[in-house]
Amino acid sequence: MGKLVRSISADGTVIMMASDTTDIVATAARIHGTSKVCSAALGRLLTGCSFMGQMMKEEKGTVTLRINGGGPCGSVICVSDYLGNVKGYVMNPDVDLPLKENGKLDVGTAVGTDGYLSVMKDFGTGDPYTGQIPIATGEIAEDITSYYAISEQIPTVCALGVLVNPDNSIAVAGGFIIQLLPAAGDDTIEAVERCLNGLKPVTTMLASGMQPEDICVNVLNEFQMEILDEFDISFKCDCSRSKVEKALISAGVKELEDMAKDDVTSVSCQFCREKYDFTSADISRILIKASK
Ligand SMILES: [Zn+2]
């Protein structure tokens, strides 16, 4: 189980969320069999997406992030519900790249910078909002920061990290996001900048045993941070046989007629790899629905 904490400064100028997504990223890495760099890319996007989902007020709201910069890992896609539970996948999960000169996983090269980060917010009312910005670095955190600056005009600082063990298991993962509230003045901005100066990576904080609430209090140490609430978050897919059936119906009659020729058609969920088998009799039954 992952954990996400929300906090606000006592003077009402800054909000900060921090999370430990180690379990979530470990689940994603196990399901998708990701290489180290793909675990980092997917894990960072899952962690960022979870924050953005948590910011939705609508109970049926979801946020979908898709980043595709033309790099070897292909598109990375994540969806969060309004509580911060997430699911996601990376198109080419086994891409491996040499480490960067500073010894870090080269997420920016894996994702690429020739493309867009797109954000879709579905409020559950059938009229989703879509925003798209050119990729800044492909390192994900900078891209989310840049999305908020360009599309929502909210001054934001985002840090996301995934530490992968030599055996590809996930040591720690998590992040934080800081946003200025309308009451923030220049002095607030300067104080936040001082707090961030020389800050350790978020994975170092988590590996040292810090909890998300400790991260909020320690990072913004020039502010009196008050913890608002805490949420258990997890890797959660909402796929089901009936949803897959609906997708098959929308695939169209021609496609279904072809499938009906096979004894069994297997459809796997892209997000969680759950496999749904449909016999040719099942497909014929779905075909009747599709022809109506
Ligand atoms: Zn699924």
Quick one: average pLDDT of 194-214? Answer: 96
The protein residues having their C-beta less than 5 angstroms from ligand 1 (an ion) are: 237, 239, 269, 271-272, 274
21 with 92, same domain: the answer is yes
Residue 289 has pLDDT above 90, yes or no: no
Ligand 1 center from residue 274 Cα (angstroms): 6
**Phi, psi (5° rounding) for residue 112?**
90, 165
d(CA 22, CA 206): 9
Q: Which domain holds residue 268?
A: 241-291
What pLDDT does 291 receive? 83
Ligand 1 center from residue 271 Cα (angstroms): 5
Number of compact structural domains in the chain: 2
For residue range 121-139, list pLDDT tens digits in order.
999 888 899 999 999 999 9
156 with 224, same domain: the answer is yes
Ligand 1 center from residue 29 Cα (angstroms): 15
Structure tokens at 39: 């675990």
Strand partners, 163: 172
Residue 292 has pLDDT above 80, yes or no: no
Ligand 1 center from residue 253 Cα (angstroms): 24
Quick one: average pLDDT of 5-23? Answer: 97
222 with 250, same domain: the answer is no
d(CA 286, CA 50): 35
198 with 284, same domain: the answer is no
Q: Quick count: other Cβ atoms within 10 Å of Cβ 59?
A: 10
14: left (phi > 0), else alpha (psi -120 to 50), else beta?
beta
Q: Give the dihedral of Cα atoms 40, 52, 129, 251; nearest 10 deg.
A: 50
Structure tokens at 158: 């985002």
Task: Please state, in angstroms and as integers, the Cα–Cα distance from residue 291 to each residue in 22, 134, 241, 286, following that order.
Answer: 46, 41, 20, 9
From 183, 199, 233, the end of a domain falls on 233
Can you give the CATH number for the domain in which 268 is found?
3.90.1280.10
Ligand 1 center from residue 177 Cα (angstroms): 27
Helix axes 253-260, 241-251, angle to 10 degrees: 110
Taking Cα atoms as reference points, which of 5, 32, 34, 9 lies closest to residue 21?
5
pTM value is: 0.95
Quick one: average pLDDT of 203-223? Answer: 97
Can you give the CATH number for the domain in which 218 is found?
3.55.30.10
220 with 253, same domain: the answer is no
Cβ within 8 Å of residue 167, ≥6 positions away: none
227 with 248, same domain: the answer is no
Ligand 1 center from residue 235 Cα (angstroms): 10
53 with 156, same domain: the answer is yes
From 233, 265, 282, the end of a domain falls on 233
Residue 223 has pLDDT above 80, yes or no: yes
For residue range 105-115, list pLDDT tens digits in order.
999 999 999 99
178 with 65, same domain: the answer is yes
